[in-house]
Amino acid sequence: MKHRKLGTSDLHISVIGLGCNNFGFVANMDVAASRKVIDQAIDSGVNFLDTSDSYGTSENILGEVLGERRKKIVLATKFGSRQNALGEKSGNSRGYILAEAEESLRRLRTDWIDLYQIHYPDPKTPIEETLRALDDVVKSGKVRYIGCSNFSAVQLEEAEQTAKKHHLTKLVSSQDEFSLLAHDIKSDRLPLIEAHGMSELPYFPLASGMLTGKHKRGQPAAKGTRLAEKPFLAERYLHDANHAKVERLEKFARDRGHTLLELAFGWLLSHQVVASVIAGATKPEQIEANAKAGEWELSKEELAEVDRITGAASQAA
């Protein structure tokens, strides 16, 4: 498994990471099922595990399963999207951050978090307040580095300039939806992320399952898949334009002796600003496939053709 440096940090993470939202959350996996996936990930060379305080019991499961192996893992979690009894997001206030960092440490059974990420922007809380709180948890030794997720280009720039102005800890990474079918960040956020010395951490690299090849044109979403269970995602992804792109991408990969999965991950990793592709799994065999998928290094000609197929050619490289 190859590794890449995470932004300006001293962390080197596997180019394929493990998204842990299936553990006790999306797929309602129990400890035993989660343990098999986590064990396979570590055995396959995956050292980057990403979770959140909002992923149900995911943090608790990781805390129980990792044990002494936690020292070899780059452990990332997020805050800011948990909801109270009224269904309101808790946001990114100082009080919430200081309290929730302690809670995540307790659930994860660890003394430090390698990467603590703002899950969503909070329009009610000034970014300076958020960054000052994060600066304090970094200085306390409870968090090593900080990142963000789902920020717009304007919000990324504001965070960068605020940290510079007040000499606060800077963000080292941005986690965003990024795939062959969702690549809007190429035109605005990706250049900013690179310019500020940050790394990109793509989530939904398979476009919620569209890039698995399971979904066929003119047919309902494959049974048991995310698109079958979440109508709002199906409405977003299951349309003729995407089916046409997937069919062409499948042929492109097949003609070169590769799978669609390998193309999806290889294309993302062709962007050097991408440090690790965050991929979820519910079975150990999926981990093996994901780990292998990071090995295809596409040529310039291949990249140009893929970008033409997906429409990414019209966006900034």
Q: What values do phi and psi take at 260, rounded to 5?
A: -60, -35
- 8: Cβ–Cβ under 8 A, 6 or more apart, which residues? 170, 172, 197, 198
DSSP-derived 3-state class of residue 13: strand
**Residue 55 is a catalytic residue:** yes
> Can you say whether residue 207 is alpha, beta or left, with left for phi > 0 and alpha for psi between -120 and 50 degrees?
left
Residue 103's identity, in one-letter code, is E
Number of helical (H) and strand (E) elements in the chain, helices listed first:
12, 10
Locate tokens 């290889």: which residue?
266
Catalytic residue chosen out of the listed positions 55, 116, 145, 203 = 55
Measured in Å, how far apart are the chain's first and last C-alpha atoms?
A: 25
Q: Rounded distance, CA 310 to CA 4, Å?
A: 26
Q: Rounded distance, CA 148 to CA 134, Å?
A: 11
Q: In this structure, are residues 172 and 145 in contact, taking their beta carbons and an 8 Å threshold?
A: yes
So which residues are the catalytic ones?
55
